[in-house]
Amino acid sequence: MAIRVVVSGAAGRMGLESCRSVAQDPDLELVGAVDVSRVGESIACLAGEPVPDLPISSDLAATIRQADAAVVIDFSVPHTRNEVFRTIVEAGARPVVGTTGWSPADIEAARRLVNVHGSAAIIAPNFSIGAILMMKFAREAARHLSSVEIIELHHDKKLDAPSGTAVKTAEMIASAQPDRPPARFDPARGKIVDGVRIHSVRLPGLLAHQKVIFGGLGETLTIAHDSLSRECFMPGVVLAAKRVLELRELVYGLDNLL
């Protein structure tokens, strides 16, 4: 039986791609679309074939219950992420969250909520398999090269900075460098996350790009990833929608599923 899926933030760019990917996968069934905009319009008219003709709803909890959804893929907006997450869990579905901006305190609160309800969830700063590998390679390099900075570049409509991917990368690098000394704050040198400097660029014409640059004695090492279209995130989204039903806890980062 196909897994019944609702997409939250369905009318956005990532939401529309998610609707198409869910509709194309034989193991998944798109049973609801939720957004604060385009309410009442058919998601099929926005996303095209093979998305089913479902009206966009503004009521997430009601849509989950009426559609008997098992999973909700959330690509809404950062300032509503905690409320949306709670609504999904309390309505009886399992969240697969790509909405960014999660702080460590937010993640711990979400983890407690999931445990109280005996549910499971996946929060992923990035669903691209290539980006996950970039982060893993950076963690491995950090065991051998201690000096590192991150440059992340995104489109000018991205609401948060630094990106969730850059923050997660810094956390993974720090985990490989437990004795890393604290960095001196300098506003011209980027934000410091776990002792790693992150530089954020927001410009039209970009999508999602990141470079992790290591410096050593007489050499540098650059690990880079470029997202050229939003399709690159969809294999990870589909994987998470299937795997979340096997979990018994909140998992932060798609790297924990690969």
Within the chain, strands assigned E span 3-8, 28-34, 56-57, 71-74, 94-97, 121-123, 147-154, 191-193, 196-202, 208-216, 219-227, 250-252
The active-site residue out of 136, 155, 158, 191 is 158
36 backbone dihedrals φ, ψ, rounded to 5°: -90, -10
Out of 154, 168, 199, 209, pick the active-site residue: 154
Q: Cα separation of 206 and 25, whole Å? A: 29
How far apart CA 197 and CA 213 sit, in angstroms, is: 11
Rounded Cα distance, 126 and 17, in Å: 15
154 carries an active-site annotation: yes
168 is catalytic: no
254: DSSP letter: G
Looking at the annotation, which residues are catalytic?
154, 158
